[in-house]
């Protein structure tokens, strides 16, 4: 199979399935509200609250306590957000950010690094984690309820495929 046939086959075309942006605050209350406000302003979407899975006494966290907020972006919103987030990283990602399934994760130390975001003293500065899931058409068979099936090894997105996809579509330099 040549490279020309792969690119012409619509089932081999890769796409961004979703971009998940997460801010982990570590405690509930006012800091969580501020982080929620920041995510809502950045992505024009109401964030969902994430709760602690277990109690950690050293950090003062109880099981079930809200400790973070996240936003899941799909479609055009995901693409636009990813462009902004990659620019904040300087369009450079380490190769260790890519996993074997073609997903990419990276972090931002300060949300004010994103282009067009101004510092607001009443909100403060928050860091965030970004996870990008790259798939091909047909991945739905893995997740659907009825007639669930496996995705073949040749159809899965690999680390090299994801790196090439981000280089060609977003101008990312992999270090």
Q: What average pLDDT does range 121-142 have in this prediction?
A: 90
How do the residues of the chain divide into helix, strand and coil, expressed in percent and rounded to 5? 35, 25, 40
Integer Cα distance of 109 and 27 in angstroms: 18
Query: In this model, does residue 117 exceed pLDDT 90?
Result: no
Q: What does the mean pLDDT of the chain come to?
A: 88
Query: In this model, does residue 37 exceed pLDDT 50?
Result: yes
Question: For the segment 67-86, what is each residue's pLDDT rounded down to a tens digit?
Answer: 899 999 999 999 999 999 99
Query: In this model, does residue 107 exceed pLDDT 60?
Result: yes
pLDDT-derived band at 60 (thresholds 50, 70, 90) equals: confident
For residue 157, the number of C-alpha atoms closer than 13 Å in the C-beta half-sphere is 27
Record the tokens describing residue 63, joined without a space: 């099981």
Enter the DSSP assignment of 98.
B
Check: CB of residue 70 under 8 Å from CB of residue 48. yes
Q: What predicted TM-score, i.e. pTM, was given to this entire model?
A: 0.85
Q: CA 133, 135, 141: angle at the middle one, nearest 5?
A: 115
Q: Using a CB cutoff of 8 Å and minimum separation of 24, what contacts does 6-12 make? A: 10/137, 11/136, 11/137, 11/138, 11/155, 12/136
Q: Is 156 exposed, middle or buried (0-12, 13-18, 19+ CB in 10 A)?
A: middle
Record the tokens describing residue 170, joined without a space: 């977003």
pLDDT-derived band at 7 (thresholds 50, 70, 90) equals: low
Check: CB of residue 129 under 8 Å from CB of residue 24. yes
**Topology of the domain covering 14-174:** 50s Ribosomal Protein L5; Chain: A, (3.30.1440)
> Structural domain boundaries of the chain?
14-174
The structure tokens 């003293």 sit at 121
């Amino acid at each position: 199979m040549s490279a020309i046939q792969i690119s012409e086959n619509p089932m081999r075309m890769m796409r961004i399935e979703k971009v998940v942006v997460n801010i982990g605050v570590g405690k509930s209350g006012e800091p969580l509200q501020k982080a929620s406000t920041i995510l809502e302003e950045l992505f024009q979407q109401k964030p969902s609250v994430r709760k602690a899975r277990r109690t950690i006494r050293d950090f003062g966290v109880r099981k079930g306590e809200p400790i973070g907020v996240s936003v899941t972006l799909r479609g055009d919103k995901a693409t636009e957000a990813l462009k902004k987030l990659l620019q904040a990283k300087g369009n450079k990602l380490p190769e260790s950010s890519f996993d074997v399934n073609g997903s990419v994760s990276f972090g931002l130390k300060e949300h004010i690094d994103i282009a067009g975001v101004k510092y607001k003293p009443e909100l403060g500065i928050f860091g965030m984690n970004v996870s990008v899931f790259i798939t091909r058409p047909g991945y739905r068979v893995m997740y659907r309820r009825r007639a669930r099936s496996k995705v073949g090894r040749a159809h899965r997105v690999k680390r090299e495929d994801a790196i090439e996809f981000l280089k060609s579509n977003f101008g990312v330099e992999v270090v």
